């Protein structure tokens, strides 16, 4: 698949609206992830230690580019390749973050396809980062994606995946604590004005610039299965099977983790 790599010319109104809605995305996501900025900070701390100042970073399943925006704030000399299949979120990212110029390229690719890494056009990233996205992939696809990420990484490059990895089977106290934490975080954030997932999407696709992409988004994701809720143990074993030399969690809050693996 191919997609524009530079943002379409934007009016001041569209630029301002897109940036405001990206900010609303961050508030909406933080309503579902108690310490979202903490886990971003952990990823950036590691990235700063293991990658050069001009690192190439692959933002995998990037959505509108929240990871890329934070990478470029911390490492302004880096280059981010932001990959996703969602045409609406990719366009929001292009419009809201276009001022990063050549340092940020949005690329359309489907991680379900074995050849998704071809969209990188030979780039060898120093790091692959993902946040709150890979939990949607079933076991066989996730394993293949990890292997593809390992194959494209530069020598001794790292992968970091920040995500909810739910407690399942035989640990009711852990599950209950996580459930209560989720509910409290959502209640607090929504009380402070954060939009719900559904309301945020409704506002985005109601905008005249993004509305034409909504039907294509629906078509692309219509037949995808529900979240398989794969465990921490599965993710770590999949990373090892993919050929990473070491893998483990470097941050945890209840059932929310940052995983780190090195090629």
Q: Kindly report which listed range (89-98, 113-122, 160-169, 211-220) carries the lowest average pLDDT score.
A: 160-169
Tell me, what CATH number does 137's domain have?
3.40.50.150
Q: Is residue 82 part of a domain?
A: yes
Domain-located, residue 3: no
What is residue 159's DSSP assignment? E
More confident residue, 138 or 2: 138
The mean per-residue pLDDT over the stretch 22-42 comes to 98
Q: In this structure, what token pair is assigned to residue 239? A: 């990373």
What share of the chain has pLDDT > 70, as a percent?
96
Average pLDDT over residues 51-75: 98
Q: Using alpha carbons only, what angle is made at residue 140 by residues 164 and 130, rounded to the nearest 5 degrees?
A: 40
Q: Which residue carries 């035989």 as its tokens?
A: 170
84 assigned to some structural domain = yes
How many angstroms separate the CA atoms of 158 and 145, rounded?
14
Q: What average pLDDT score do residues 43-72 get?
A: 98
4 pLDDT band, cuts 50/70/90, is very low
**Model pLDDT for residues 114-170, shown as the tens digit of each residue:** 999 999 999 999 999 999 999 999 999 999 999 999 999 999 999 999 999 988 778
pLDDT at 103 exceeding the cut of 60: yes
* Mean pLDDT to the nearest integer, 239-244: 97
Task: Give 3's pLDDT tier (boundaries 50, 70, 90).
Answer: very low
End-to-end C-alpha distance for the chain, whole angstroms: 27
Mean pLDDT of 101-108: 98
Answer yes or no: is pLDDT of 203 > 90.
yes
CA distance 139 to 137: 7
The CB-side HSE value for 75 (13 A sphere, CA atoms) comes to: 26
Q: 6 lies in a domain?
A: no
Residue 8: is its pLDDT beyond 60? no
What distance in Å separates the CA atoms of residue 176 and residue 167, rounded to the nearest whole number?
10
What are the residues facing 106 on neighbouring strands? 82
Radius of gyration of the chain (CA): 18
Predicted confidence band of residue 105 (pLDDT cuts 50, 70, 90): very high
Return the pLDDT at 10: 53
Average pLDDT for the chain: 95
User: In this predicted structure, which of 7-16, 193-202, 212-221 has the lowest mean pLDDT?
Assistant: 7-16
**Which pTM does this prediction carry?**
0.94
Residue whose entry in the numeric block shows the structure tokens 């398989």? 228
Let me know if residue 2 belongs to a domain. Answer: no
Give domain status of residue 55, yes or no: yes
The total number of residues written for the chain in this structure: 263
- For residue 144, is it within any domain? yes
If one counts the domains in the chain, the total is 1
Q: Is residue 7 in some structural domain?
A: no
Residue 83 forms beta bridges with which residues? 60, 107
| Domain containing residue 243 | 12-262
CA distance 91 to 68: 14
């Amino acid at each position: 698949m191919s997609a524009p790599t530079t943002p379409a010319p934007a009016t001041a109104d569209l630029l301002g609206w897109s940036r405001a809605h990206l900010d609303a995305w961050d508030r909406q996501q933080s309503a579902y992830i108690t310490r979202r900025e903490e886990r971003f900070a952990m990823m950036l701390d590691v990235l700063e230690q293991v990658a050069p100042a001009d690192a190439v970073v692959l933002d995998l399943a990037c959505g509108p580019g929240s990871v890329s925006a934070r990478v470029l704030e911390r490492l302004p000399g880096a280059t981010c390749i932001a990959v996703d299949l969602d045409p609406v979120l990719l366009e929001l990212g292009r419009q809201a973050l276009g001022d990063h110029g050549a340092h940020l390229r949005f690329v359309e690719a489907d991680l379900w396809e074995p050849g998704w890494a071809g969209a990188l056009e030979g780039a060898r990233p120093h790091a692959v980062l993902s946040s709150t996205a890979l939990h949607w992939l079933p076991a066989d696809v996730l394993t293949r994606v990890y292997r593809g990420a390992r194959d494209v990484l530069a020598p001794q490059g790292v992968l970091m995946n920040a995500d909810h990895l739910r407690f399942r089977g035989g640990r009711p106290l852990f599950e209950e604590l996580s459930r209560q934490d989720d509910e409290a975080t959502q209640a607090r954030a929504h009380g402070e004005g954060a939009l719900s997932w559904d309301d945020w999407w409704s506002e985005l696709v109601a905008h005249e610039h993004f509305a034409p992409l909504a039907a294509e988004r629906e078509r692309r994701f219509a037949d995808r299965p529900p979240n398989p809720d794969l465990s921490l143990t599965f993710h770590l074993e999949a990373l090892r099977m993919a050929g990473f030399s070491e893998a483990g969690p470097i941050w945890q809050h209840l059932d929310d983790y940052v995983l780190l693996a090195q090629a």
